[in-house]
Amino acid sequence: MKSIRIGNAAGFWGDQIDQPVYLTRDGQLDYLTLEYLAELTMSILAHQKSRNSDAGYVTDFPEVIKKLVPYLKEQPQLKIITNAGGMNPSACAKMVSENLLSLGIEDCKVASVDGDHLLPDLEEHQKANESFTHFETGDDFNTVQERIVSANAYLGASGIVEALNQDARIVITGRVADAALTLAPAIYEFGWDWTDWDRLSAATVAGHIIECGAQATGGIYSDWNEEIDLANVGYPIAILEEDGSVFITKPEGTGGLVTPETVAEQIIYEIGDPTQYMTPDVVVDFSHVELEQVSPDLVKVTGAKGTPRPDAYKVSMAYQDGYFASGTLVICGRNAKKKAEAAAKMIFDRMKIAGIELERTNAEYLGSGDSVPGVWPEVEEPFEIVLRISGYDSSKESVERLMKELAPLVTSGVPGVTGYTGSRVRPRRVLSYWPTLISQNRVKAKQVCKTIKEWVSEP
């Protein structure tokens, strides 16, 4: 039976930079996927593109491609699929092509896939009765419309499949559902029908398992012990077969582990209702999924069921929402917690004396249990506390003034203040999240597939 090996070497932008090389070198892959995007990432990329029309993509990816050139030459079957395109897939495709051409690869095709970017056409969609109501709170879109800075639909696998049909070896998308990076090559390789819901759901579960990288292979595993080698952790590989069978593994000789427990912890990550996990391509029922340890570091996944895809795409929007900053001091010695509480009160009192009251403030006493308040058992009085002061306000100047009140405590506060070195924290703009929906028939994936030379020669 035909099978394919799909390895994912990035669970977010900022994941281990050398893992794409390690996984490609050791994984015997047919497909390498790199999943970089999150809602916050899209907002950052939108901000970058607003200042530079050639920006807006994950800048790590063109550099990763340089490191993968030897393996692209040695492994002719290898294809790469990534959502590194972010807000600007075509600019990313052009940069990747320039890098490949400079290193001697010119005989393959690179595709960009977009269509998810809704911001230029929001008013047109609204005229077509798209309300963009906040789907969790029911709030009216008009309350934030003027402050929207990004709006992207979560597309499915269709644009990637079409790019593969056009012989693309590297596919760079904008915002697609994370699992679509794995589902698309399965549909392309096996010729599955778009209504074969159970097989689509099986591949979607596989994509969901590997999408966060090492979370499926022992990373942040709740039953961690010192014998689990995470310094050399192997990133996950999904083996998919034509009948919908799924196996999860990692490169031989790497650290971490693949067990029903590590896989199960990733399966329940961010799925909401396990009987109705909504994706653009299929609604997945996880409730009957079974995991079997076939051999060391090889887990078989069965039991996924699927029903028809929803009528709407999820849309991730971000809107400007004031300013935020957070700064820390270390308070040490006897009575550290009491001194930290007194220091926080001094900071807020001095703000009031100056006639400034922020919309929201917070003081945390890290070391006393404040990372998860009410969860940890009480401990003996600590001899050091990290005091973290945070503030939010629509006024950037007010937040900036709050941060100016931390350093003076070194000489005008409680004894035992340290940890203040470094530049003063600057306020940053807050981009808040607005989740909503749009009818699938209003959005269509668009793919452009060109040779490397065609991308490079484009003005």
Rg (the chain; Cα; Å): 25
| Pure H helices in 52-121 | 60-74, 89-102
Residue 136 lies in a domain: no
| Per-residue tens of pLDDT for the chain, all 459 residues | 799 999 999 999 999 999 999 999 999 999 999 999 988 898 889 888 888 989 999 999 999 999 999 999 999 999 999 999 999 999 999 999 999 999 999 889 999 999 999 999 999 999 999 999 999 999 999 999 999 999 999 999 999 999 999 999 999 999 999 999 999 999 999 999 999 999 999 999 999 999 999 999 999 999 999 999 999 999 999 999 999 999 999 999 999 999 999 999 999 998 889 999 999 999 999 999 999 999 999 999 999 999 999 999 999 999 999 999 999 999 999 999 999 999 999 999 999 999 999 999 999 999 998 888 888 887 778 899 999 999 999 999 999 999 999 999 999 999 999 987 778 899 999 989 999 999 999 999 999 999 999 999 987
Token pair belonging to 255: 């650290």
3-state secondary structure 325-342: EEEEEEEECCCHHHHHHH
Degrees, nearest 5: CA angle 55-59-63: 140
What was the pLDDT predicted at 423? Answer: 84
What was the pLDDT predicted at 453? Answer: 95
Token pair belonging to 372: 């998860």
Domain span at residue 413 reads 318-433
Residues in the chain: 459
Same domain? 274 vs 362? no
What was the pLDDT predicted at 40? Answer: 81
Same domain? 252 vs 327? no
Residue 132 lies in a domain: no
| Residue entry with tokens 């709170």 | 137
Residue 141 lies in a domain: no
Same domain? 171 vs 214? yes
Q: What is the DSSP letter of 255?
A: B
Residue 209 lies in a domain: yes
What was the pLDDT predicted at 28? Answer: 97
Residue 186 lies in a domain: yes
Residue 182 lies in a domain: yes
Same domain? 330 vs 304? no
Residue 302 lies in a domain: yes
Contact 118, 439 (CB under 8 A): no
CATH code: domain of residue 387: 3.30.70
What was the pLDDT predicted at 380? Answer: 79
Contact 279, 287 (CB under 8 A): no
Distance from C-alpha of 432 to C-alpha of 426, rounded to nearest angstrom: 19
Distance from C-alpha of 395 to C-alpha of 86, rounded to nearest angstrom: 30
